[in-house]
Structure 1
Amino acid sequence: MKVAVVVPKYGLVGGAERVVFELTERLALQENMDIHVFANAWRAGLAPVTFHRIPRIAFPRCLRPLAFAFITARMTARQRFDLIHSHERIIDMDVFTMHGIPHRTWVHEARGKRMSLFDLAVDRVERRGITRAKPFMLPVSSLVKDELRRVYSLPEDRLKVIHPGIDQKFFHALERERLRADWGFTENDVVILFVGMNFEIKRLDLAMEALASAMRSRHSARPLLLVAGRGDIKHYKARAEELGISKRVRFAGVVEDMAACYASADAFFMPSRFDTFGLVVLEAMAAGLPVIITDRTGAKDVVVSGREGFVIPVDASASVYAECIGRLMDRDKREEMGSLARTAAAAHSWEGVVSRVVEVYHKVLGVGGK
């Protein structure tokens, strides 16, 4: 089977990019699978993948989505592919893994912004690709699926939720005590990990307010917030000072070895305003951490609130999240939930994801693929 995989950046920084890389590398190792990646830039892995560079239009920005879509269509048309699987909005594809929600919804509801020329271009390509090409849609969560059905009125038989996978071996056999000592954490510190490349969307301010509230209500508890990722650290350090928790918040910056962060922590907290899935949630669970997330996070699909962690309404106050933090101060409760989280994450292996994607390929080709 000759398959074209389309993604702007392959194997580079980013949650969706990492998901595409892990999936495609494994697809390329399947018997009778010939994988061709079309991208602007890439980091090649070890699998037998053929790369095709899509020229990048740097300016004006509003033309980039249109240029990427139309250049990709022209390049893929030059070869005879059995199937085109896109992870980006383009105009001609057979399978579309939707890592986001409809762009207009994202701009208006998640970001609270008005549509720019760039946003209008993205929306135009998305609408044309979904309504005219009529690809088989693979939303990464039920949250994304529901938005797709609401905006585009897609039939159920054109949709299949396939969550990202996880490699649990990545999180085992790490020296937890040494890693915590490297951070300067004590045995009594209950380390709550926050991860995000956009502190505003992930709501680090709310996470810090919840930590401050938890510390006020449980004076004997020693929760500590470990923040990994990218954002205006100076601003959030000042906010921690205002809340009186500056000594209980550590900023790690962008961390390459996230497994070490998970191994150093006792729980995971991400009160995101919106997240189509949140691979870091699944990774934290695989590392045995109970999680606190919102009901606008796609990874809620894999969490039973009160069992592997807590799923809280997105509009809840800091005191509600603080109560969850307080419950996780109990070591026995924390370890019980963490064990259940690890078990739940184990059901989401990459092998299972590959199997489900290949099944979709066969279904599409059986109906009359290219």
Structure 2
Amino acid sequence: LKQKGYDLHVLSSKWIEEPGVTCHEINTRSLNSVVSTLSFNRNVVPVLRRLRPDCIISFERTTFQHIYRAGDGCHREWLNLRGYTDGFMKRMSFSLNPLHRVLLRLEKEIFEGTPVIIANSGMVREQIMRYYCVAEEKIRVIYNGVDLRRFNPGNRDVWREELRVKYSIPEGLPVILFVGSDFRRKGLGVLVSSLPYIDREVRLLVVGRGDTAKYKRLAAKRGVDDRVIFAGPRKDIEKYYAASDVFVLPTVYDPFSNATIEAMASGLPVITTMNNGVAEIIDDGYAGYVLKDLFDPPGLGERISEVIDRLPVMSLNSRRKAQEHPIEETVNRFAELIEDRIDSA
């Protein structure tokens, strides 16, 4: 947007200085998540009144924007899925939890009151329409784009050997990659449990922050503790795509996983679930597979084995599919919505 010549102002509780962007620091009370969310929504108002911008875009749960990007998806759907996976008592506790009550109230106000909503998948659009009776024409679907230069198959020639030596992975041994910092929601337990059902020796490389001790115990219980490597959170994530062969994310809920499309751009076949918005651009058997059953380790293991058998072709297909969604296209579509808003003001 900066390159397109907009006068950009960012309202945020934290910001790293960026040339050409004016930052307005918004004070929030960090007593807890509820107070922080409400205080930010309240404290942006006087700044917006002073600035009087032509177009207000929000990526957070605020109620004063012209365009809202629902990057976190639909919280009500996420709670329903958690209730399904966690059981009746957990589902009942959501109605008493102050944070969930606040988020659901804000979500309702945002979806009903914001003129234009951007959903990053058709899945999220359908959820917003179903739960909040929002008109379809009010919601625009703009998939997350990917940086095709940073994430590309050529990275293998640069970093593959270095990373495999670092983690003592023999050359030629297939590596399955998992990226995510909410291990439970992202389905790491199902993936670890699928390893005994893969028809050959592999390594599972786990990148992200989470309760590693819990999943190390699970791996030991399944007899695969020697096959799982925990790398922790990494900023140089493109190196880990380069070192891997298959990307697997058996997530319970993801509006549109950036890691999945980054993996595709890097030339990795992907396996994820129907509850990941990226599933809409994955044709079964072409660039990967979409799982209908979220909790089927044997079935997942079988799919991983199938992908490994077809790595050369599926890797090429995965890159081709990612090339249909460059970050530049996402920015252009976003800019069109901004220009439409300014023209109609």
- Structure 2 length as normaliser, TM-score? 0.92
User: Paired residue for 1:230?
Assistant: 209
Q: CA deviation at 1:43?
A: 2.3
- What stretches of structure 1 move > 3 A for 4+ residues in a row? 110-113
Structure 2 unpaired stretches of 5+: none
The letter for the 2-side match of 1:209 is S
Q: Distance in 1 between matches of 2:30 and 2:236?
A: 31
SS in 2 for 1:41: coil
User: Paired residue for 2:36?
Assistant: 64
Q: CA deviation at 1:102?
A: 2.8
Matched, 1:94 2:66: yes
- Conservation of the 8 A alpha-carbon contact between 2:28 and 2:43: no
Matched, 1:166 2:146: yes
Closer, same or farther: CA 298–272 of 1 in aligned 2, 3 Å = same
User: Paired residue for 1:213?
Assistant: 197
Matched, 1:329 2:308: yes
Q: Distance in 1 between matches of 2:101 and 2:46?
A: 22
Alpha carbon RMSD of aligned pairs, Å?
Answer: 1.6
Q: CA deviation at 1:104?
A: 2.8
The letter for the 2-side match of 1:156 is E
The letter for the 1-side match of 2:108 is R
Where does 1:307-318 land on structure 2 (aligned, <5 Å)?
A: 307-318=286-297
Matched, 1:49 2:21: yes
- Conservation of the 8 A alpha-carbon contact between 2:219 and 2:225: yes
SS in 2 for 1:222: coil
The letter for the 2-side match of 1:277 is F
User: Paired residue for 1:200?
Assistant: 184
SS in 2 for 1:337: helix
User: Paired residue for 1:8?
Assistant: none
Q: CA deviation at 1:135?
A: 2.3
User: Paired residue for 2:275?
Assistant: 296
Cα shift readout 1:258-281 (whole Å, capped 9, x = no counterpart): 001000000101101111111000
The equivalent position to 1:110 in structure 2, one of 82, 86, 89, is: 82
Q: Distance in 1 between matches of 2:31 and 2:195?
A: 43
Q: Distance in 2 between matches of 1:53 and 1:313?
A: 44
Q: Distance in 2 between matches of 1:314 and 1:364?
A: 41
Q: Which stretch of the first structure deviates more once superposed, 136-145 or 149-158?
A: 149-158
Q: CA deviation at 1:203?
A: 1.4
User: Paired residue for 2:103?
Assistant: 122
User: Paired residue for 2:285?
Assistant: 306
User: Paired residue for 1:19?
Assistant: none
SS in 1 for 2:68: strand
Q: CA deviation at 1:171?
A: 2.6
The letter for the 2-side match of 1:338 is S
- Structure 1 length as normaliser, TM-score? 0.86
Q: CA deviation at 1:167?
A: 1.0
Where does 1:126-145 land on structure 2 (aligned, <5 Å)?
A: 126-132=107-113, 134-145=114-125
- Conservation of the 8 A alpha-carbon contact between 2:186 and 2:251: yes
Q: Which stretch of the first structure deviates more once superposed, 282-291 or 249-258?
A: 249-258
Matched, 1:156 2:136: yes
- Conservation of the 8 A alpha-carbon contact between 1:73 and 1:91: no
Closer, same or farther: CA 183–192 of 1 in aligned 2, 3 Å = same
- Conservation of the 8 A alpha-carbon contact between 2:111 and 2:128: no
- Conservation of the 8 A alpha-carbon contact between 2:190 and 2:295: no
Q: Which stretch of the first structure deviates more once superposed, 277-286 or 204-213?
A: 204-213
User: Paired residue for 2:3?
Assistant: 29
Q: Distance in 2 between matches of 1:61 and 1:254?
A: 23
- Conservation of the 8 A alpha-carbon contact between 1:66 and 1:122: no
User: Paired residue for 1:185?
Assistant: 169
The letter for the 1-side match of 2:187 is R
What is the total number of aligned residue pairs between the two structures? 332
Closer, same or farther: CA 60–349 of 1 in aligned 2, 3 Å = closer
Percent identity between matched residues is: 30
Matched, 1:349 2:326: yes
The letter for the 2-side match of 1:213 is Y
The letter for the 1-side match of 2:67 is V
SS in 1 for 2:221: helix
- Conservation of the 8 A alpha-carbon contact between 1:110 and 1:274: no
Cα shift readout 1:129-151 (whole Å, capped 9, x = no counterpart): 3323x320100111111111111
- Conservation of the 8 A alpha-carbon contact between 1:101 and 1:276: yes
- Conservation of the 8 A alpha-carbon contact between 2:246 and 2:308: no
- Conservation of the 8 A alpha-carbon contact between 2:186 and 2:252: yes
Q: CA deviation at 1:316?
A: 4.8
SS in 2 for 1:234: helix
